[in-house]
Structure 1
Amino acid sequence: MRNILTALCVVMAGTAFAQQAADAIAPEAAGTGDFQSLSADVTAALKAKAAGKSVQADNWMVVAANPHAVKAGADVLAAGGTAADALVAVQTMLGLVEPQSSGLGGGAFLVWYDAASGALTTFDGRETAPLAATPRLFQDANGEPLKFFDAVVGGRSVGVPGTPALLAEVHARYGNQDWAQLLAPAMKLAEDGFPVSPRLAQLVADDAERLASSKITAAYFMPGGFPVAAGQTLVNLPYALTLKKLSAEGAGAFYAGDLAKTIVATVQGAEANPGVLSEVDLAIFRVKERPAVCASFRAHDVCGMGPPSSGAIALGQMLGMLDGYDLSAGPEDVNVRRLIGDASRLAFADRGRYVADSDFVPVPVAGMLDSDYLADRAKLLAGDDALPEVTPGVPEFDHALNWADDEAIELPSTSHISIVDAAGNVASMTTTIENGFGSRLMVGGFLLNNELTDFSFRSQKDGVPIANRVEPGKRPRSSMSPTIVMKDGAPVYVAGSPGGSRIIGYTAQAIIAMIDWGMEPQTAAALPHAVNRFGTYDLEAGTRVEGLADALGAIGYETNARALTSGLHLIAIDDRLRGGADPRREGIALGE
């Protein structure tokens, strides 16, 4: 089977890199049995992904992490709905069938291109810290940081969810379909039940001990004391009731009334690790519209989400530093990997010191993306060996830059949605509950986030404050990188991925693959990963890139072979729409 997929990729891509894409295809994605009963177009999309082929369309396209969710969004677009309408249907379905990654209990960032006006903007639905939170929220009595999962599991880690408010805001501004109608597909499937996917079953089994910390969560994911099995039908009546309430009363019903009271009671009543979330915290949450942050790369404008996300800044810094270097030798060339890896390390050094919620901390966004500053940083890449040491730069800024380096831990989970509608509107949304299964607390059929553990557990080092420390009402720094790439004022690529702080590297590689290496979206999504954030080069185990270990070691890198489970969902926009879904996960691209 692998030889067949390899041959198909070579014929399709016509590049020397297609073999690498075939190597990355996961066994679970190669089969179509789990979802082919949904419809003929879903079956065709699954087969195209398994063969390494991009899906093509003329009018609209949606790419997301589960065929049930993609089908829900596709039905909306086929009925004349906008990308904003489709986002509502896709996200509410993902919260049911991929609950470990995102949902109503989490937050999201959206980059939006409005075809009518030609304007690009972003919406911040990131969770906020409760008003009762202090900088010592994740420290013990001696001021030392808690262990990560001691902080995660329970109520202490739960921030105010932003996803319901974000969906409602964008739907009100850009949607044309009835709100209740968009929630109906997920509501019906929650009532009827859905077959547990192999991926969800495996993740539940792997996390069984932590899921057992909450009786409600354990009862849902481990009925009878055993983890749900692949193919088992899972019914979620509480989620159906939550959606019914939101259908009738709007998203405001999430932030006030009985549901809000239940959320607060669950967080504050969590055994052994209660949190400080209050009804006031929910009532005052607001989505924030922010200007897109853009950087230049190969005559394109790569645009995304600014603070509190570090995504667009770090991605822009990487690509800005690489803009003056020739990467055409491709992903198997050790010097290309050196350039990309050290550009990433330099960007992460700046990220760790300067980036946090800009409503609380002045962030030198313009200085960090200034062309002269990046040109100076790029000079550090001119050698032949790995940089022996990487430190933050000093970007131009009119505020103090005396910050200590961050120590936040950001583990991979999350989900990404890319949509282009028939009118040309574009949505790139990355959505999350942070760690897999979030806080492990369940309310109303959905999981609550553990987003507050994206803050630094330490508030200062040697008396110097850390920008990403916990503060009341503050939004934790993120690496989510929903991206729209523009050229001559029009969108040409839509990109994004889950994966913790490796999201930045995954997204950067996909953009380089499509622009510099001429790859189709599906080939770019399947390309093996090599990511370097802090000095050690992570190489995707079991792929051709693992063979670069000796060459990278010879120029000074430590290497580590490991699973690098991205979830890239890509769309290329030119005469036609071409979409690709990461073979490491269950998603597909659908279009018409």
Structure 2
Amino acid sequence: MSPVKVNVALSGLLLVPLYSFGFSYETPSVTPEVGSGYEEKPGWSAASFAVAAANPLATDAGYQVLANGGNAVDAAIAVQMVLTLVEPQSSGIGGGAFLMHYDGSDVQAYDGRETAPAAVTGELFMQDGEPLPFMDAVASGLSVGVPGTVRMLEQAHKEHGQLAWEELFVPAITLAEEGFAVSQRLHTSLTSDEALKNDPLAGQFYYNADGEPLAVGDTLKNPALAEILRRIASQGSAALYEGEIAEDLVNRVQSHDVRPGSMTLEDIQGYQSVERDPLCTPWQQWEVCGFPPPSSGHITVMQILGILDQRPLLEAPLDNGVSSSGWLHQFLEASRLAFADRGRYIADPDFVEAPGGDWTLMLAPDYLASRSELIGDTSMGDSAQPGNPGELNVSWASQPAQPEYGTSHISIIDGDGNAVAMTTSIEQAFGSRILADGGTGLPGGYLLNNELTDFSFVPEVDGEPVANRVEPGKRPRSSMSPTLVFDGETGELVASLGSPGGAAIIHYTARTLVAMRDWGMNAQEALNLPHAITTGGDVYLEEGRFPDATKQALEAYGHTISERELTSGLQAIRRLEDGTLFGGADPRREGVVMGD
């Protein structure tokens, strides 16, 4: 078995067969990549199957599953369990996920988004009539939603899995027991976080007695997580949602020393993942399939792209690898309009009706044409207003702006042509900053999410309710945009892609689609491009990636510009015309693509 097709950060294999399941997991020897900044990556070719994930150990786990007879869903489960261990700041069994699946004929959308406990009210994040400071809400028991990733993956596996459920946990259990080398990115995240060390379990596990974080290259074992995963492997999702592990989760949430949450065992035991109807939108020669609400990702991505398609190009779209100022102006203005609609209308569809009763009305060509006419030669700044895509039974207020963070993305295409695009999250880096050991009493464990801070802190504005306000049992609105692309004429699979990045996921995904369809770029070239985002106010450009002339031109259009690190974590795999695959991994993170 040869796990590497081109030069990557996996420097050979230490062959250590473990367990006696259908395949022997082989522990890879990994040199951690640079975890921040920007590092060129070559792109990866594969003949029949490929997996892309945010950490080489996780990618390798998915690769080994595929190489030993597993399919795309099997590989996604193995990847996610390893990410829980090696990229704990971004996703894990304590969070939620959206999974898009293609089985060669049908596209399905599996919703593993977290839910709010039954005892919450719309005032959850309000104090004395004012919203709590964002980080005060995050690092608390208040922010923890009932996790959904494991139950959702179990549902997908029951319908599509090929290998036995328990086999898919072998890589993560093995690495948790034997240890893995702390990467630069994990070390950097630990160094920059002030709240995690205040948690009694996390402070002891990720920091030394002097409060210093684990160093790059330190071997980290996680015996608590190994035991938790062993139970889930043998008992299924019930091991997490019932019994000792569930009781410990509730205790950790309710016993937070500053802001305890209200989660109960009944909340956890009652959680159900949901299969929703995917949204598949024609886009010139492609059909783009994405996740419906409670994700705002697909609708907002396709609104941006649909508005752009109504606009004449002001100039060539690229100039020396940087999007031209004319194209950027239109992209940013389309983003303002799409985010205005997002803030007014999109929320959990079990609680909020779509405009006109149909979410696709927000993507109707005539509606997007009318929106595109609002784009002029001068930026509308923060004055973009939502449109009227359809009649509403309730008059919603626009949600005030607030931060969004976090997440990881997995893209997989297997040898039979099945595909997965899965975006998975605990929201902020290290989630709620609560580590749960499952009641094992062993060192380590898994981090609990802070996804409830994706709800609007303010339940109403000027007497009108906010669609994305907190309600019992509700799923918070998300920006996650797992995407599968198909040829509009033949129906054949073209690509699987997605990204982390909070609200900026939408910009990252939209720009990547444009680069691959319109600018003739391969998956890696598209991911390498510099980022520009706005959610309706200032424009943020990726620091150090745009020439002064571009910044000055955007300012001349009326945009208020500043620069910052925009750390996307894009993964993309595209099927080429000859049937082979070419994958890309974001140069801003430590992910790789592997395949055969």
Provide the TM-score with structure 2 as the length reference.
0.90
The answer on whether the counterparts of 1:99 and 1:446 sit within 8 Å (CA) in structure 2 is: yes
Aligned to 2:113: 126
- Shift of residue 39, structure 1, vs aligned partner: 7.3
1:151-300 matched pairs, under 5 angstroms: 151-207=137-193, 209-224=194-209, 225-300=211-286
1:547 shift after superposition: 4.9
CA separation of 1:453 and 1:86: change in aligned 2, threshold 3 A: same
- Distance in 2 (alpha carbons) for counterparts of 1:42 and 1:387: 52
User: Which string of whole-angstrom CA distances, capped at 9 and with x for unpartnered residues, describes residues 358-405 of structure 1?
Assistant: 100112212211111111111222x322235311001123x3251111
- Counterpart for residue 590 of structure 1: 594
Deviations 1:65-121 (A, max 9, x none): 000000000000011111000011000000000000000000000111111xx1112
Q: Which residue of 1 aligns with 2:92?
A: 103
Match of 1:377 among 353, 371, 376: 371
- Is the partner of 2:146 in helix, strand or coil? coil
CA distance in 2, matches of 1:570, 1:45: 21
Deviations 1:291-326 (A, max 9, x none): 111223222111101110100110111111112335
CA contact (8 A) 1:539 1:545 kept: no
Partner of 1:544: helix, strand, or coil?
Answer: coil
Contact 1:106/1:431, CA 8 A, preserved across alignment: yes
Q: For residues 355-370 of structure 1, what are the structure 2 equivalents within 5 Å?
A: 355-364=346-355, 365-370=359-364
2:290 corresponds to 1:304:
yes
What's the % identity of the aligned pairs? 47
**In 2: Cα distance, 1:545 partner to 1:168 partner:** 48
Distance 2:87 2:224 in 1: 16
Correspondence for 2:126: 139
TM-aligned CA deviation for residue 60 of structure 1: 0.4
| Alignment-mate amino acid for residue 434 of structure 1 | E
1:36 aligns with 2:27: no
Distance verdict in 2 for CA 1:422–1:152, change over 3 Å: same
Q: Does the CA-based 8 Å contact 2:498-2:572 persist in structure 1?
A: yes
Matches within 5 A, 1:446-525: 446-487=446-487, 488=489, 489-525=491-527
Q: CA deviation at 1:545?
A: 5.4
Does the CA contact (< 8 Å) of 1:357 and 1:475 recur in 2? Answer: yes
Distance 1:96 1:545, change over 3 A: farther
Aligned length: 555
After superposition, the Cα gap between the structure-2 partners of 1:438 and 1:545, relative to the gap in structure 1 and judged at 3 Å, is: farther
Is the contact between residue 126 and residue 457 of structure 2 (CA under 8 Å) also seen in structure 1? yes
CA distance in 1, matches of 2:167, 2:528: 35
Letter in 1 for 2:542: E
Which residue, 402, 414, 422 being the options, matches 1:409?
Answer: 402
Residue equivalent to 1:3: none
- Which is further off, 441-450 or 317-326? 317-326
Distance 2:8 2:290 in 1: 33
Letter in 2 for 1:505: H
Aligned with residue 334 of structure 1, among 325, 328, 342: 325
SS of 2:573's equivalent in the other structure is strand
With over 3 angstroms needed to count, the CA separation of the structure-2 counterparts of 1:170 and 1:509, relative to structure 1, is same
Name which of 44, 61, 78 aligns with 1:72: 61
Residues in 1 aligned to 2:156 and 2:245: alpha-carbon distance in whole angstroms = 22
- 3-state SS of 1:535 partner: coil
Letter in 2 for 1:437: F
Q: Is contact 2:66–2:75 with CA below 8 Å preserved after alignment?
A: yes
SS in 2 for 1:151: helix
Amino acid at match of 2:575: I
Q: Which runs of 5+ in 2 are unaligned?
A: 1-6, 16-27, 438-444
Structure 1 range deviating more: 431-440 or 51-60: 51-60
Deviations 1:213-254 (A, max 9, x none): 211011111132321111011110000000111111111111
Amino acid at match of 2:352: V
SS of match in other structure, 1:223: coil
Query: Residues 546 and 561 of structure 1 are in contact (CA less than 8 Å); yes or no, is this contact kept in structure 2?
Result: no
Paired position in structure 2 for 1:351:
342
Amino acid at match of 2:324: D
Contact 1:138 1:457 survives alignment (8 Å) = yes
Q: What is the CA distance between 1:38 and its match in structure 2?
A: 4.6
* Aligned residue number for residue 585 of structure 2: 581
What's the secondary structure of 1:135's corresponding residue? coil
- For residue 407 of structure 1, report the CA deviation from its aligned partner: 2.4
Query: What pairs up with 1:77-92 in 2 under 5 angstroms?
Result: 77-92=66-81
AA aligned to 2:560 is: E
2:41 and 2:585 in contact (8 A); partners too: no
Offset at residue 344 of structure 1 (A): 0.7
- Unpaired runs of at least 5, structure 1: 1-30
Q: Please give the secondary structure, in 2, of the residue aligned with 1:493.
A: strand
